[in-house]
Amino acid sequence: MPQATERPADGPHPAEVAVLDGVILSSLLEAGTLWLERNAARLNALNVFPVPDGDTGTNMLLTMRSAVQAARQLAEQGAGSVMRAAAQGALMGARGNSGVILSQILAGIARELDEHPLSDGATLARALAEGAASGYRAVGQPVEGTILTVARAAGAAAVAAASGRHGSKAGCRLVLERAAEAAARAVAQTPDQLPLLRQAGVVDAGGEGYRLLLEGMVYALRGEPLPQLGPEEAPPPGVVEATTLPATLPAQPATEWGYCTQFLIRGTGLDLQRVRADVQELAASALVVGDDEAILVHGHTDDPGALLTYARRLGRLQRISIEDMDAQHDAWLRSQAAAAEGRPPAELATVAVVSGEGLAEVFRSLGVTELVRGGQTMNPSAQDLLQAARRTAARQVLLLPNNANVVPAAQQAAALAAGEGRQLLVVPARTIPQGVAALLAFNPEAGAEENRVAMEAAAAAVRTVEITRATRSAAYDGLQVAAGDYLALVDGRLVASTPDVLEAVRRGLAEACAAHAELLTFYRGAAISEEAAASLAAAVREDYPAAQVEVVAGGQPHYDYIISVE
């Protein structure tokens, strides 16, 4: 872990930064995010479970990217406006538990900075403290030794710095330095607060991510470049890119509809006719109107990035909107089919999160309205889930997260949906088998709340066994795990580690009380052949002759088998 950001003991000392305006604050957020990005792979590796689901770094990074993207457009409008935009961007882009909590911390900071075009040290200190308090309020049962503890320590140190011997004259750099130093100390102490961290030999990943954000900001305020990481610290090629796959799975094969892209260009001396001609070359259905200071662009294109890159050379871009017309077209086809059959558009719809084309096909066959790509290591954001709910065109939507790490973003999406008059009810399915059971219990003739209760009960009646491979050697919950071992998890709890896959399956099934089950469904992962799965299933049939054993091609990454015990 990088050392705490300490004030140099001697030598030239950079000038104190007394206040932050919007431009400086925006640059600090970008620096903190860049430092987080450079350390994302290391954060992902700080995983209590020795399984391939460490995604805290990725989730925090993608959340901050959304924050920075929103804040960048308001840099000239003052610190309060920048932070308010960053908080809104983080809210919409929050992924996973760590990203959701981080978005709430940013929301608290934004509330304290609101109406402050300039922030002095005392205001910044209060904002950091309020950010921590906001994070605690957002969590039903706060746990110490997490990002919450680290944020609180940073906020308290910031307030102490602002009220110390420098008093009201304490500048923002001093306040931020002290906050980063306190965050480093708090991170180092997290194993003393959480036995699981101490047992795994790691510090809390979320807390370390927050420390990195503060440290990156301090580097920027000091005018120092971010350190270059050594080969052993640098993220492997593609570690971030692999998590930025399209968020949704199309219900039908892709068509050539593309993306409806719209934005406003602001500049001086803009050539309307030239822009119109250029946009017509880059996009279909082009509509370009305006004058020499502001031009509104609308077009349909398969590559909205090329259109935005072109426009960015002309001036500042505002009011950017990109809509997936393929998804909209699918929704339109569904509504037309309903109308043709004399049925009104559905009042109640379902959305499910899945990873793997086989699992997607399972949920489609069960009648799910919309699918969102996601799961282990690739948690969809609240915005992804909200957009899927919108595409259903239904007033009430039942959402199946199907992964414990997706539940926080689902709950945040539900809060966002309420603000636009849509009821999004989260059925807290935490595994794929729970999601399948819940969807089987769905009754389109019943109301939303009645369905939610029935689906939640159905999900709770299913046990889930997951078989994966250990990414490292570790001691966890009394078990000695060797790198490469097959791990058996039952309802998220690690119960076995063994070099033999059949042994892992048998121990997992025994822990899940499979002796009383009527049906055992094996969803084989992307790396498992049909022959290997069939051989394993045959052995399980001998163990449990009274149960029906089925094998389904799930195609999920990371988990060799996901087993439903019913």
CA dist 499 and 486 (Å) reads 6
Does pLDDT of 520 surpass 80?
yes
**Is residue 287 within 8 Å of residue 299, measured between CB atoms?**
yes
pLDDT at 529: 93
Say if 19-225 and 346-460 have the same CATH topology. no
Does residue 384 register a pLDDT over 80?
A: yes
Let me know: does 388 contact 246? Beta carbons within 8 Å: no
Mean per-residue pLDDT of the chain: 81
486 versus 373: the higher-pLDDT residue is: 486
Q: Which pLDDT score, from 0 to 100, does residue 140 have?
A: 60
**pLDDT bucket at 336, cuts 50 / 70 / 90:** very low
pLDDT of residue 300: 73
pLDDT at 284: 73
Q: Which band of pLDDT confidence, cut at 50, 70 and 90, is reported for residue 249?
A: very low
pLDDT greater than 60 at residue 257: no
**What percent of the chain has a predicted confidence (pLDDT) above 70?**
82
CA–CA gap between residue 177 and residue 2 (Å, rounded) = 15
464-482: pLDDT as tens digits: 999 999 888 888 877 888 9
Residue 343 pLDDT greater than 60, yes or no: no
Would you say residue 251 has pLDDT above 50? no
Tokens 């205001």, residue? 123
Q: Within a 10 A sphere around the Cβ of 554, how many other Cβ atoms?
A: 28
Residue 285 has what pLDDT?
A: 57
Residue 463 has pLDDT above 60, yes or no: yes
Four-way CATH pick for 259-324: 3.30.70, 3.40.50, 2.60.40, 2.40.128: 3.30.70
Give the pTM: 0.61
Distance (Å, rounded) from C-alpha 504 to C-alpha 509?
9
| Closest-CA residue to 400 (of 433, 350, 352) | 352
Mean pLDDT of 141-170: 84
Which stretches of 495-545 are DSSP H helices?
Answer: 501-511, 530-543
**pLDDT exceeds cutoff 50 at 416:** yes
Residues 225-247 as b/e (b if ≥16 CB within 10 A, e otherwise) read ebeeeeeeeebeeeebeebeeeb
Domain ranges of the chain: 19-225, 259-324, 346-460, 465-565
CATH for 19-225, options being 3.30.460.10, 1.25.40.340, 3.40.50.620, 3.30.479.30 = 1.25.40.340
**For residue range 115-151, what is the model confidence (pLDDT) as tens digits?**
889 988 899 999 999 999 988 887 767 889 999 999 9
Residues forming a β-bridge with 350: 398
Q: Is it true that domain 346-460 has CATH number 3.90.1150.10?
A: no
For 10-62, the pLDDT digits (tens) are 333 334 667 888 888 988 999 999 899 888 878 887 766 665 555 788 888 88
Lowest-confidence pick of 88-92, 368-372, 495-499? 88-92
Please, which residues have CB within 8 angstroms of residue 247's CB and are 6 or more apart in sequence? 372, 373, 374, 380, 381, 384, 387
